[in-house]
Amino acid sequence: MRRLQPNKGFTLMETVIVISIVTVMTGTAVFILQPFQSQKPAQLFFKTLEQDLLYAQQYAISNKKTIVLLFDPANHRYIGTEGGISPKRLYTVSYDSDILLTPSTMEARVQFTPDGGLSDSGTIVMQYRKKRYNMIFYMGMGRMGVEER
Protein backbone atom coordinates (compact mmCIF):
# COMPACT_ATOMS: atom_id res chain seq x y z
CA MET A 1 0.00 0.00 0.00
CA ARG A 2 1.31 3.42 -0.96
CA ARG A 3 1.35 6.20 1.54
CA LEU A 4 -0.04 9.55 0.59
CA GLN A 5 2.48 12.30 0.92
CA PRO A 6 1.32 15.46 2.62
CA ASN A 7 0.73 18.42 0.31
CA LYS A 8 3.74 20.65 0.06
CA GLY A 9 3.28 24.40 -0.42
CA PHE A 10 2.72 27.68 1.33
CA THR A 11 -0.24 28.54 3.46
CA LEU A 12 -2.37 31.55 2.71
CA MET A 13 -0.97 33.34 5.75
CA GLU A 14 2.65 32.85 4.64
CA THR A 15 1.83 34.19 1.17
CA VAL A 16 0.08 37.28 2.59
CA ILE A 17 3.07 38.02 4.86
CA VAL A 18 5.56 37.78 1.97
CA ILE A 19 3.41 40.01 -0.27
CA SER A 20 3.10 42.57 2.55
CA ILE A 21 6.87 42.68 3.07
CA VAL A 22 7.50 43.14 -0.66
CA THR A 23 4.89 45.94 -0.82
CA VAL A 24 6.43 47.81 2.12
CA MET A 25 9.93 47.52 0.63
CA THR A 26 8.76 48.77 -2.78
CA GLY A 27 6.88 51.70 -1.24
CA THR A 28 9.91 52.68 0.82
CA ALA A 29 12.19 52.57 -2.22
CA VAL A 30 9.86 54.88 -4.17
CA PHE A 31 9.94 57.53 -1.41
CA ILE A 32 13.71 57.26 -1.00
CA LEU A 33 14.41 57.64 -4.74
CA GLN A 34 11.88 60.43 -5.39
CA PRO A 35 14.22 63.37 -4.49
CA PHE A 36 16.87 62.05 -6.88
CA GLN A 37 14.35 61.77 -9.70
CA SER A 38 13.01 65.28 -9.14
CA GLN A 39 16.31 66.91 -10.21
CA LYS A 40 16.75 64.87 -13.42
CA PRO A 41 15.48 67.61 -15.80
CA ALA A 42 18.02 70.10 -14.40
CA GLN A 43 20.85 67.59 -14.74
CA LEU A 44 19.75 66.74 -18.28
CA PHE A 45 19.61 70.46 -19.16
CA PHE A 46 23.18 71.05 -17.95
CA LYS A 47 24.54 67.96 -19.68
CA THR A 48 22.86 68.84 -22.99
CA LEU A 49 23.94 72.48 -22.77
CA GLU A 50 27.52 71.48 -22.03
CA GLN A 51 27.60 69.18 -25.06
CA ASP A 52 26.03 71.84 -27.29
CA LEU A 53 28.54 74.46 -26.11
CA LEU A 54 31.41 72.09 -26.88
CA TYR A 55 29.94 71.42 -30.33
CA ALA A 56 29.56 75.16 -30.98
CA GLN A 57 33.16 75.78 -29.90
CA GLN A 58 34.51 72.99 -32.10
CA TYR A 59 32.39 74.20 -35.03
CA ALA A 60 33.75 77.74 -34.59
CA ILE A 61 37.35 76.53 -34.56
CA SER A 62 37.07 74.10 -37.46
CA ASN A 63 35.11 76.47 -39.73
CA LYS A 64 36.75 79.73 -38.59
CA LYS A 65 33.30 81.23 -38.00
CA THR A 66 31.62 83.09 -35.16
CA ILE A 67 28.99 80.92 -33.45
CA VAL A 68 26.24 82.39 -31.28
CA LEU A 69 24.10 80.47 -28.80
CA LEU A 70 20.94 82.47 -28.17
CA PHE A 71 18.82 81.68 -25.12
CA ASP A 72 15.08 82.16 -25.58
CA PRO A 73 13.66 81.81 -22.05
CA ALA A 74 10.14 82.79 -23.09
CA ASN A 75 9.90 79.75 -25.40
CA HIS A 76 12.10 77.47 -23.23
CA ARG A 77 14.73 76.85 -25.88
CA TYR A 78 18.14 77.90 -27.09
CA ILE A 79 19.35 78.26 -30.66
CA GLY A 80 22.83 77.77 -32.05
CA THR A 81 23.58 79.89 -35.12
CA GLU A 82 26.54 80.56 -37.35
CA GLY A 83 27.12 84.30 -37.21
CA GLY A 84 27.27 86.52 -40.22
CA ILE A 85 25.00 88.64 -42.40
CA SER A 86 22.53 85.83 -42.92
CA PRO A 87 22.85 83.55 -39.86
CA LYS A 88 22.67 79.83 -40.47
CA ARG A 89 20.78 77.89 -37.80
CA LEU A 90 22.84 74.94 -36.54
CA TYR A 91 20.45 73.57 -33.93
CA THR A 92 17.48 74.39 -31.70
CA VAL A 93 17.09 72.70 -28.34
CA SER A 94 13.95 72.88 -26.21
CA TYR A 95 14.12 72.32 -22.48
CA ASP A 96 11.72 71.65 -19.59
CA SER A 97 9.19 74.44 -19.02
CA ASP A 98 9.94 74.40 -15.27
CA ILE A 99 13.47 75.64 -16.01
CA LEU A 100 13.73 79.42 -15.77
CA LEU A 101 16.77 81.25 -17.20
CA THR A 102 17.61 84.79 -16.13
CA PRO A 103 20.59 86.72 -17.49
CA SER A 104 22.63 88.06 -14.57
CA THR A 105 25.99 89.56 -15.56
CA MET A 106 25.77 88.82 -19.28
CA GLU A 107 23.19 88.87 -22.05
CA ALA A 108 21.12 85.79 -22.84
CA ARG A 109 23.63 84.67 -25.45
CA VAL A 110 27.03 83.04 -25.67
CA GLN A 111 29.28 83.92 -28.59
CA PHE A 112 32.28 81.86 -29.69
CA THR A 113 34.96 83.60 -31.72
CA PRO A 114 36.62 81.82 -34.68
CA ASP A 115 39.50 80.74 -32.40
CA GLY A 116 37.04 79.02 -29.99
CA GLY A 117 37.12 81.55 -27.17
CA LEU A 118 34.13 83.35 -25.69
CA SER A 119 33.66 87.00 -26.60
CA ASP A 120 32.08 87.78 -23.20
CA SER A 121 32.13 86.16 -19.80
CA GLY A 122 29.45 86.29 -17.16
CA THR A 123 26.69 84.49 -15.35
CA ILE A 124 23.20 83.31 -16.24
CA VAL A 125 20.96 82.15 -13.38
CA MET A 126 18.98 78.95 -13.85
CA GLN A 127 16.16 78.03 -11.52
CA TYR A 128 14.44 74.67 -11.43
CA ARG A 129 11.66 74.36 -8.88
CA LYS A 130 13.20 75.53 -5.60
CA LYS A 131 16.86 75.19 -6.59
CA ARG A 132 18.94 77.95 -8.17
CA TYR A 133 22.15 77.52 -10.11
CA ASN A 134 24.70 79.96 -11.49
CA MET A 135 25.95 79.08 -14.96
CA ILE A 136 29.31 80.81 -15.19
CA PHE A 137 30.86 81.30 -18.62
CA TYR A 138 34.62 81.82 -18.52
CA MET A 139 36.19 84.17 -21.05
CA GLY A 140 38.97 82.78 -23.18
CA MET A 141 38.51 79.16 -22.19
CA GLY A 142 35.10 78.74 -23.77
CA ARG A 143 33.94 76.65 -20.83
CA MET A 144 31.02 76.74 -18.43
CA GLY A 145 30.87 76.02 -14.71
CA VAL A 146 27.77 75.43 -12.61
CA GLU A 147 27.37 76.41 -8.97
CA GLU A 148 24.35 75.59 -6.85
CA ARG A 149 23.18 78.63 -4.89
CA-CA-CA-CA dihedral for 18, 24, 25, 29, to nearest 10: 160
- Nearest residue to 42 via CA among 89, 97, 82, 93: 97
Top CATH class of 40-148 equals alpha beta
Look up the pTM and report it. 0.72
pLDDT of residue 10: 74
Band (4; pLDDT cuts 50, 70, 90): low
Domain parsing of the chain, residue ranges: 40-148
- Nearest residue to 78 via CA among 4, 22, 6, 144: 144
| Residue 46 identity (one-letter amino acid) | F
Residue-wise pLDDT tens digits, 36-48: 666 688 888 989 9
pLDDT at 75 over 70: yes
